[in-house]
Amino acid sequence: MKVKTAAKINLNLSIQNSPDSNLHKLDSLIVPIDLYDEIDICIANENKDNIVFTNNKNLSKESTIHKAIACLRRNTNLTNFFNIKIDKGIPIEAGLGGGSSDAAAVLIAIKKMLDIQLPDHLVIANEVGSDVPFFINGKPAKVTNIGDKVEDYFIEKEIFFLIILPNFGLSTKNVFHQWDILTKENLETEKHTVFDSIEVFNDASHAAFYLEPRLKEMKDLIEEELDKNIFLTGTGSALFAVFDNKDDADLCKEKLVIDNCSTLVTKKIDYSYKELSD
């Protein structure tokens, strides 16, 4: 089975400590976007998994896909092994959810191939990752608790994004660790409203900018150059601006000249998972 699985943008992200979990409690409005990884998965004839990231060999040793399959084996009667090839189009450590999207796509594909029941979202969030239930659901959604509670959030309006990708990433683990330290300072997160109703903000930005001052410098420079609010998505290094039409997003992309990063224009889509063939 060949599938495409999309990236995401956190339009907003509120973070709290969770007394009941080693994960943090989240409240986030997330939308899938038209930036994809492609995955080819089939049942293996030998008793081992062969998971290959064609353009990132390090991920072939340990990834969220490995965690997802291990989660299935712990929580279901799965006995099969798999050959999986992943062509990465979603940058890693960017806050765009590529690893979680891959894991969710593999879980969905295995469910369809073998007609098995997936573990519940709480188990998947704890054992694989807090963004994975969002991608299993696949639609724009309000995500709460530790990522296991996913409620569809219909946004009628088209949304386009100019995404700025620095040539460095950020570790989610390091960002949350730094957030734990900085929350003692009672930092306030700056919030902006787009389209009259959607608040855009990210509580993780304080920690991200502390760990990577270059990211804050880049954000300030882009805001000055484009006269647009620039935001951080998730706990990675990707920055984004919000537009209501593609022409304006493309115009800002052409206008922006900044070193040590790349840019692309994407849009909100309705569903993150797409089968290309059986």
pLDDT in tens, 150-173: 999 999 999 999 999 999 999 999
Q: What percent of the chain has pLDDT over 70?
A: 97
Whether 274 has a pLDDT exceeding 90, the answer reads yes
Q: How confident is the model at residue 18 (pLDDT cuts 50, 70, 90)?
A: low
Q: How confident is the model at residue 188 (pLDDT cuts 50, 70, 90)?
A: confident
Condensed to tens digits (0 to 9), the pLDDT of residues 51-63 reads 999 988 788 788 9
Q: How confident is the model at residue 244 (pLDDT cuts 50, 70, 90)?
A: very high
Q: From residue 161, how far is each of 114, 214, 272 by CA, in Å? A: 37, 21, 16
Whether 122 has a pLDDT exceeding 80, the answer reads yes
How high is the pLDDT of residue 184?
A: 66
Whether 265 has a pLDDT exceeding 90, the answer reads yes
Condensed to tens digits (0 to 9), the pLDDT of residues 204-232 reads 999 999 999 999 999 999 999 999 999 99
Mean pLDDT throughout 8-25? 85
How high is the pLDDT of residue 19?
A: 64
How high is the pLDDT of residue 55?
A: 85
Catalytic residues: 8, 131
Alpha-helix residue ranges (DSSP H) falling in the chain: 64-75, 98-114, 121-127, 132-137, 172-182, 205-211, 213-226, 246-255
How high is the pLDDT of residue 118?
A: 97
How high is the pLDDT of residue 258?
A: 87
Whether 183 has a pLDDT exceeding 80, the answer reads no
The tally of CA atoms less than 13 A away on the side-chain side of residue 123 is: 14
Mean pLDDT throughout 94-110? 97
Q: What percent of the chain has pLDDT over 90?
A: 88
How high is the pLDDT of residue 20?
A: 62
The mean of the pLDDT values for the chain is: 94
pTM: 0.94
How high is the pLDDT of residue 21?
A: 63
Give the whole-angstrom CA distance, residue 270 versus residue 155: 9
Among 35, 53, 131, which residue's Cα sits nearest to residue 89?
A: 35
How high is the pLDDT of residue 90?
A: 97
Sign, CA torsion 96/98/99/103: positive
